[in-house]
Amino acid sequence: MKKRILVIDDDAIACEFLQEALRLDGYDVMTCTSALEALKQDLSSYDLLMSDIRMPEMDGLQFLEKVHKKWPDLPVILMTAYGSLETTMEALSLGAWDYISKPFSPEACRAIVKKVLDVRELRERRLKLDSPEAGGETKLIGSSAAMVEFYKQIARIADVPASVLIEGESGTGKELTARSLHHMSSRRDKPFVVVHCGAIPDNLLESELFGYEKGSFTGANHQHIGLLESAEGGTVFLDEITEMSTALQGKFLRFMQDGEVRRIGGHEVRHTTVRMVAAANKNIDEEVNTGRFRMDLLYRFIVRLRIPPLREHKEDIPMLTESLLKKFGYPNVRISMEAMELLMAYDWPGNVREMENTLQQTLLLSPFAVILPENLPKRFSQKEDSKEDTTSPGMSPLETVEKEKILQTLKETVWNQSKAAQLLDIDRKTLRTKIRRYGLQEEKIGLNGKSSFKT
Give the model confidence (pLDDT) of 293-342 as tens digits.
Answer: 999 999 999 999 999 999 999 999 999 999 999 888 888 889 998 899 89
Contact 442, 122 (CB under 8 A): no
3 state SS of 453: coil
Residue 140 lies in a domain: no
301 and 448 belong to one structural domain: no
Q: Are residues 183 and 117 in the same domain?
A: no
Last residue of a domain, one of 360, 388, 416: 388
Looking at the structure, do residues 299 and 206 belong to the same domain, yes or no? yes
Q: Do the domain assignments include residue 25?
A: yes
| pLDDT tens sequence across 128-139 | 444 444 444 457
Which tops the pLDDT comparison, 455 or 152?
Answer: 152
Count: domains in the chain: 4
Partners of 166 in the beta sheet?
279, 305
pTM of the model: 0.56
255: helix, strand or coil: helix
Strands, DSSP E only, in 46-86? 48-52, 76-80
Q: 325, 179 in Cβ contact below 8 A? A: no
Q: Judge if 242 and 103 occupy the same domain.
A: no
Shared-domain flag, residues 369 and 416:
no
Say if residue 232 is in the same domain as residue 371: no
Least confident window among 21-35, 101-115, 116-130, 220-234 = 116-130
CATH number at residue 432: 1.10.10.60
Same domain, 289 and 156: yes
- Residue 432's pLDDT is 84
Mean pLDDT rounded to a whole number for the chain: 83
- Tell me the CATH number at 109: 3.40.50.2300
The DSSP letter of residue 264 is B
- Same structural domain, 322 and 193: no
Q: The CATH number of the domain where 366 resides is what?
A: 1.10.8.60
pLDDT of residue 387: 42
- Asked if residue 138 belongs to a domain, the reply is no
Q: Decide if 139 is inside a domain.
A: no
On the 0-12 / 13-18 / 19+ scale of CB atoms within 10 A, 135 is exposed
Residue 414 belongs to domain spanning: 391-455
Residues 123 and 185 in one domain: no
Pick 125 or 218 by higher pLDDT.
218
**So what's the pLDDT on residue 112?**
85
Q: How far is CA 152 from CA 155, 156, 174, 264, 298, in A?
A: 5, 6, 16, 41, 23
Q: Does residue 400 lie in a domain region?
A: yes
Would you place residue 206 in the very low, low, confident or very high pLDDT band (cuts 50, 70, 90)?
A: confident
Query: How far apart, in Å, are the Cα atoms of 194 and each of 123, 243, 279, 293, 395?
Result: 27, 15, 11, 20, 48
Q: Please check whether residue 116 lies inside any domain of the structure.
A: yes
Q: Verify that 173 and 186 share a domain, yes or no.
A: yes
pLDDT for residue 1 is more than 60: yes
* Residue 445 pLDDT level (bands cut at 50, 70, 90): very low
> Per the domain annotation, does 112 fall within a domain?
yes
Kindly state the average pLDDT of the residues 281-303.
Answer: 93
DSSP 3-state of 449: coil
Q: Is the pLDDT of residue 228 over 70?
A: yes
Between 413 and 451, the more confident residue is 413
**Are 81 and 206 part of one and the same domain?**
no
Query: Is pLDDT above 90 for 364?
Result: no
Residue 419 lies in a domain: yes
Q: Report which of 9, 42, 46 is spatially closest to residue 29, judged by C-alpha positions.
A: 46
CB 304 within 8 A of CB 167: yes
Residues 335 and 367 both lie in one domain: yes
Please report the pLDDT score of residue 294 as a whole number.
Answer: 94
